Amino acid sequence: MNPHFQPVAPEHASRLVNHGPTVLVTSAHQGRRNVMAAAWSMPVEFTPPRIAVVIDKKTFTRELVSASGAFALCIPGAALADLTYAVGNCSGRDIDKFARYGIEARPGPALGMPLIEAGCVAWLECRLLPEPHTEEAYDTSFGEVLAAAADSRVFANGRWSFRDDNPLLHTLHHLGAGHFVVASQTIRARPL
C-alpha cells in the first residue's frame, strides 16, 4: 500500500481522467487477473461519477470485465512509461502480466479489483454499467466509480499539481507507437 494515496471524493473523481491520461485497466475474475493499457478513457457523468473506456472486444481484459462486471483504471506516472507500453503489447491470455513484469497490486476496497499503486498516481474502481446493445456494437465500456484515490503529492483537493519537484508523478499521454508526452507545465485561464 502506498502511504501517499488518499481517498478522492466522488465529486472530484472525474478530475482524475479529465485531462486524458493513458490508464492501466485492471480486471479480475475467478482467480485470474489482468492489466492492459488504454489511451481512450473519459468522464461522462458527474453524479454519480461515471466514466467510459475503450476496451477492444478481442482483449482478455474485455472477457474478464464482462464476466466480473467490474474493472479499475490505474493512472501510471511517467516512471511507468515502459511498463505501460509493455502491458499494452501482450495479452493476459498468454501470460500473467503481474508476475511477468513484477507488478504489485492489492484488492480494491469496493470490488476487489487489482489496484496498482507503485508508480501509479491514482486509481478508480468501477462497476461495469451493463449496456447490452453498446457492448455488442462497440468497444466502449461504461463504469460507475465506486471508490477512488490519488497520490497526494500530485493530486489534492480535486486538483492535479504537476511541478518540477514531482516529475515521475506526471501523467502519461499517448501519441501513438510507444511515444508519450507527460503532463507538465500548468497554465491558468484568466478572465478576458
Q: Binding residues for ligand FMN, per CB under 6 A?
A: 22, 34, 36-40, 54-56, 59-61, 84-85, 88-93, 139, 174
**Nearer Cβ to ligand FMN (36/147):** 36
Residue of minimal CB distance from ligand FMN?
Answer: 88
Three-state SS across the chain?
Answer: CCCCEEECCHHHHHHHHCCCCCEEEEEEECCEEEEEEECCEEEEECCCCEEEEECCCCCHHHHHHHHHCEEEEEEEEHHHHHHHHHHCCCCCCCCCHHHHHCCCCEECCCCCCEECCCCEEEEEEEEECCCHHHHHHCCEEEEEEEEEEEECCCEECCEECCCCCCHHHCEEEEEECCEEEECCCCCCCCCC
**Nearer Cβ to ligand FMN (34/68):** 34
φ and ψ at 165, to 5 degrees?
Answer: -90, 5
Smallest gap from Cβ 53 to ligand FMN, in A, equals: 7
Smallest gap from Cβ 41 to ligand FMN, in A, equals: 7
Smallest gap from Cβ 59 to ligand FMN, in A, equals: 3
Smallest gap from Cβ 35 to ligand FMN, in A, equals: 7
**Nearer Cβ to ligand FMN (14/59):** 59
**Nearer Cβ to ligand FMN (39/149):** 39
Smallest gap from Cβ 72 to ligand FMN, in A, equals: 13
**Nearer Cβ to ligand FMN (40/101):** 40
